[in-house]
Amino acid sequence: MRRVAIAGVGMTKFGEEWTRGFRDMLIEAGTRALADCNLHGEEIDAIYVGTMAPGSLVGQEHVGALVADSMGLTPVPATRVEAACASGGVALRTGYMAVASGMHDCVVVGGVEKMTDTPGNEVASALGGAGDQEWELFMGATFPAIYALMARRHMHEYGTTEEQLASVAVKNHSNASKNKHAHFQNEITIETVMGSKYIASPLKLFDCSPITDGAAAAVLMPLEKAKKYTEQPIEIVASAQASDAIALHSRESMSALKSTQVAARKAYEMAKLSPKDIDVVEVHDCFTIAEVMAIEDLGFFKKGEGAKASYEGRTALNSEISVNTSGGLKGCGHPVGATGVKQAVEIVWQLRGKADGRQVKDCEIGMTHNVGGSGATAVVHIMRKA
């Protein structure tokens, strides 16, 4: 396998895009990523696009070819990959394989979702397809409900409180306020979260990531080639993925994601690193409880101590471990298929020292953690300055 690096990255400002379709957003993100490393379109060998539910949301499948067409890149092979909310992460991993294998020398990885401006109640039911349609969604278990069950269990087992969960949202809004690409750029307080309405108890409105439109892209090359296109190539030193039961009721634990634990273990092995080596991490905080479980399952805190650690500020910018400097899914927004790629964009910016007011000091090694559904898929990447 060849060593693989990210040469260029780009993303749209995340938010509600009432006047643009997802092909517009992908073109913008892709063009920015190409410009970021002075790459011409004819040098691209393949495209991988992560998107979850364009068929249900906008009636469009075959998004790989659509992107190649829209960007004027035909006949480049273009493939969509999907693993629900981890679609962006698996797109990055597939692009990594394509370069590592020697199959392609220059791959563009994109992630996108168009979630506003879709008909009727489509978004909630489309997102429900990330879980078990027959045994969860059909019975009324939407995603806030599923994560609420996990939160209740975490509270029961470890004494986690609603205020502690709220601190995750407060921290992520604070980081997002320093990120011009974020959906939300306003700071909030514990009181904001605690005073918001319950969506699925104990999760309140401000415990939930928003419905967001957006796209992100990254250019992958063999490391030596990347050095010719950028002065700051970021090497992908680990790419790992794991699955778990798709329905929550079939899992070993309701307060941990085994898929995250397995993917993290593999990633640390592949990179010959441990949690203490990671300077900055983007984790999958679709709900506040998800970030709490993630920082435990990734090994940054002991099981059961994640919420308390968050409340104590140990995950804040330039604290023990800087978690979700982009603002995470909560603050930066969660255009489902784009999220996994956006996480990589943020880590590249951090490792380059180009993260503006949210820059992590002495930042050498970063990680991304992308979850599909309620944890049936987890993808972990580790990146470092080359």
Given the residues 181, 183, 334, 381, the one annotated as active site: 334
DSSP characters over 9-65:
EEEPPPB--TT--HHHHHHHHHHHHHHHTT--GGG--EEEEE-S-HHHHHS---HHH
Whether omega before 202 lies within 30 degrees of 0, making that bond cis, reads: yes
Which CB atom, from 98 or from 323, has the smaller least distance to a second copy? 98
Which residues of the shown chain bind a second copy in the complex (CB under 8 A)?
1, 21, 46-47, 52-56, 58-66, 68-69, 73-84, 90, 93-94, 97-98, 100-103, 125-126, 128-134, 137-138, 240-247, 250, 258-259, 262-263, 372-373, 376-377
Least Å from the CB of residue 244 to a second copy? 5
Least Å from the CB of residue 36 to a second copy? 23
Least Å from the CB of residue 49 to a second copy? 10
Which CB atom, from 269 or from 364, has the smaller least distance to a second copy? 269
Nearest to 262 by CA among 340, 372, 92, 377: 377
Nearest to 342 by CA among 280, 260, 283, 271: 283
Q: In whole angstroms, what is the distance from residue 32 CA to residue 208 CA?
A: 29
Sign (positive or negative) of CA dihedral 52, 54, 56, 62: negative
Which CB atom, from 45 or from 163, has the smaller least distance to a second copy? 45
- 369 catalytic? Reply is no
Structure tokens at 298: 């990734």
Which CB atom, from 265 or from 314, has the smaller least distance to a second copy? 265
Q: In whole angstroms, what is the distance from residue 59 CA to residue 69 CA?
A: 17
Given the residues 85, 208, 286, 332, the one annotated as active site: 85
Q: In whole angstroms, what is the distance from residue 83 CA to residue 128 CA?
A: 13
Which CB atom, from 77 or from 333, has the smaller least distance to a second copy? 77
- 332 catalytic? Reply is no
Least Å from the CB of residue 131 to a second copy? 7
Least Å from the CB of residue 126 to a second copy? 7
Helix (H, G, I), strand (E, B) or coil at 301: coil
Q: How many Cβ atoms from other residues are within 10 Å of residue 100's Cβ?
A: 17
Any residues with CB less than 8 A from the CB of 200 and at least 6 apart, and which? 142, 144, 145, 147, 148
Catalytic residues: 85, 334
